[in-house]
Amino acid sequence: MKPLPAWIQELLPEHRRYFTEVGERRIHVMEFGPESGVPLLCIHGNPTWGFLYRRIAAQLADYPVRVIAPDLPGLGFSDRPDFSEHTLDNHARWMAAFVESLELEGYGLVIQDWGGPIGLLGAGRAGGMRALIVLNTVIGPPRPGFKATAFHRFSKTPGLSDIAFRLLGFPQIDLGMAQGDRGSISGAVSKAYRFPLKGLRNNAAPLAMARMVPDSTDHASIPSLRETFSYFDEFDGPTEVVWGMRDPVLGGVIRYLRKIRPDATFTITQAGHFLQEEVPAEIATACLRALRDADLLN
């Protein structure tokens, strides 16, 4: 395995890296904490990679928790599927196979952005999830009368979106614009998010995954999003929701989550979309509480 650049290594807590074969895909994984620790599976979204969870891992360093952070296919250092292969069902299939390959008896699941539907579908199909920690994400299909965000409408604009995403490196060139504190993703941290997606051969996934977001009620992602909602609605284990209200895309979704899961424990913050960068202590606290409530951690 090719080592990470030294400047990225310096940003990471002590960790292990490996590739695992999942059917026709090779998944890059980083793990933090003791290998014998309680498994906490952390799933990122678009256009990030497992690096997103390093600050939560650092907060959990004094606890017997094994943080497992895979890179979704197409992102980070995992294999690059063809553009057309980026469907929610395919990603869920790859994730379920990955979870099964870990052979975990019980684990907590942390999800954010597209990692929400992908992680929930994979965990739901593979089984074994005992605790759930939800960060800014979408859980189910859009409600009647919905309107896609400007970002996602733009992603479906032929020509212009290809230039912006594929040639100019949007949105990873400025993830800070989605933050409560724009400085939380800047300098070397911003560079680390851009690093795996350098070059036209590597950067198809951000646009393909943006186009996975429904813009109509007959979009190809709708059936899988309905399945996602079922897993979330029916899960009866400890459920924590940590939310960034200054997320320009998903901040308002919290009202819907409160209605469908009033039993969950909610932690509201003034963070933005990638809240792992802004409120890692609050997220780590929610993870520990969920793992303890699930009797996975003493």
Mean pLDDT to the nearest integer, 240-267: 96
- Identity of residue 112: Q
Residue whose entry in the numeric block shows the structure tokens 């590597």: 202
- pLDDT tens digits, residue range 36-90? 999 999 999 999 999 999 999 999 999 999 999 999 999 999 999 999 999 999 9
Helix segments in the chain, DSSP class H: 6-9, 54-59, 88-102, 115-126, 150-155, 160-162, 187-194, 205-210, 222-234, 254-260, 280-293
Mean pLDDT to the nearest integer, 91-108: 97
Whether the per-residue pLDDT at 202 is higher than 90: the answer is: no
Distance of CA 86 to the CA centre of its chain: 15
- pLDDT tens digits, residue range 166-192? 999 999 999 999 999 999 999 999 999
Closest CA to 248 of 179, 182, 190, 196: 179
- pLDDT category of residue 23 using cuts at 50, 70 and 90: confident
Look at residue 146 in the predicted model and tell me its pLDDT: 82
Look at residue 143 in the predicted model and tell me its pLDDT: 83
Helix (H) or strand (E) holding 108: strand 107-111
Phi-psi region of 71 (alpha: psi -120 to 50; beta: other; left: phi over 0): beta
Mean pLDDT over all residues of the chain?
Answer: 96
Percent of the chain with pLDDT over 90: 94
**Spatial CB neighbours of 217, under 8 Å, sequence gap ≥ 6:** 141, 142, 144
The domain segmentation of the chain, as residue ranges, is: 6-293
> Strand 107-111's sheet: what is its strand order?
16-22, 25-32, 65-70, 38-43, 107-111, 129-134, 239-244, 265-269
- Report the length, in residues, of the chain: 298
Look at residue 148 in the predicted model and tell me its pLDDT: 83
Mean pLDDT to the nearest integer, 22-36: 95
**Spatial CB neighbours of 116, under 8 Å, sequence gap ≥ 6:** 43, 45, 134, 137, 138, 139, 228
Terminal Cα-to-Cα distance of the chain (whole angstroms): 36
Look at residue 242 in the predicted model and tell me its pLDDT: 98
Look at residue 201 in the predicted model and tell me its pLDDT: 82
Rg of the chain taking only CA atoms, in angstroms? 18
- Identity of residue 172: Q
**Spatial CB neighbours of 253, under 8 Å, sequence gap ≥ 6:** 136, 137, 138
Look at residue 145 in the predicted model and tell me its pLDDT: 76
Peptide bond into 171 cis (omega under 30): yes
Whether the per-residue pLDDT at 144 is higher than 90: the answer is: no
**Could you confirm whether domain 6-293 is CATH 3.40.50.1820?**
yes
**31 vs 217, more confident:** 31
Percent of the chain with pLDDT over 70: 100
